[in-house]
Amino acid sequence: MAEPDIVASLPEALAASLEGRIQSARIVKGRAMIVLDVAGLDTDERARIEADLKAALSPRADVDEVRVIQTAQRTARRIIAVGSGKGGVGKSTLAANLAIALKRAGHKVGLVDADIYGPSQPLILDTRDAKPEARDSKLIPVESRFGVPVLSMGHLAKPGQAIAWRGPMAGNALSQLIDAHWGETDILIVDLPPGTGDVQLTMLQKFKPAGAVLVSTPQDLALIDAVRAGHLFDQASVPVIGLVENMAGYVCPHCGEVSDPFGAGGVEAAATKLDLPFLGRIPLALEIREGGDAGDPPAAGDGIHAKSFAAIAEKLSRWLAANG
Ligand X SMILES: Nc1ncnc2c1ncn2[C@@H]1O[C@H](COP(=O)(O)OP(=O)(O)OP(=O)(O)O)[C@@H](O)[C@H]1O
Binding site for ligand X (CB under 6 A): 84, 87-93, 115, 118, 120, 194, 246-247, 282, 284-285, 288-289, 292
- Check the annotation: does 92 bind a ligand: yes
- Check the annotation: does 197 bind a ligand: no
| Shortest separation between residue 193's beta carbon and ligand X, angstroms | 7
Answer whether 268's CB lies under 8 Å from 234's CB: no
| Shortest separation between residue 84's beta carbon and ligand X, angstroms | 5
- Check the annotation: does 91 bind a ligand: yes
Judged by beta carbon, residue 185 or residue 217, the one nearer ligand X is 217
Strand partners, 242: 213
- Check the annotation: does 292 bind a ligand: no
| Shortest separation between residue 248's beta carbon and ligand X, angstroms | 8
Rounded to whole angstroms, the Cα distance separating 263 from 314 reads 26
| Shortest separation between residue 119's beta carbon and ligand X, angstroms | 8
- Under DSSP, the state recorded for 64 is S
Judged by beta carbon, residue 122 or residue 292, the one nearer ligand X is 292
Rounded to whole angstroms, the Cα distance separating 99 from 324 reads 19
Judged by beta carbon, residue 89 or residue 102, the one nearer ligand X is 89
Answer whether 249's CB lies under 8 Å from 284's CB: yes
| Shortest separation between residue 225's beta carbon and ligand X, angstroms | 11
- CB burial of residue 323 (10 Å; 0-12, 13-18, 19+): exposed
- Check the annotation: does 86 bind a ligand: yes
- Check the annotation: does 238 bind a ligand: no
Q: Which residues contact 29 (CB under 8 A, 6 or more apart)?
A: none
List helix spans (H) across the chain: 6-9, 12-17, 43-57, 91-104, 121-124, 153-156, 167-178, 198-207, 220-235, 266-274, 286-293, 304-322
Judged by beta carbon, residue 41 or residue 222, the one nearer ligand X is 222
Judged by beta carbon, residue 17 or residue 92, the one nearer ligand X is 92
Q: Return binding residues for ATP.
A: 85-92
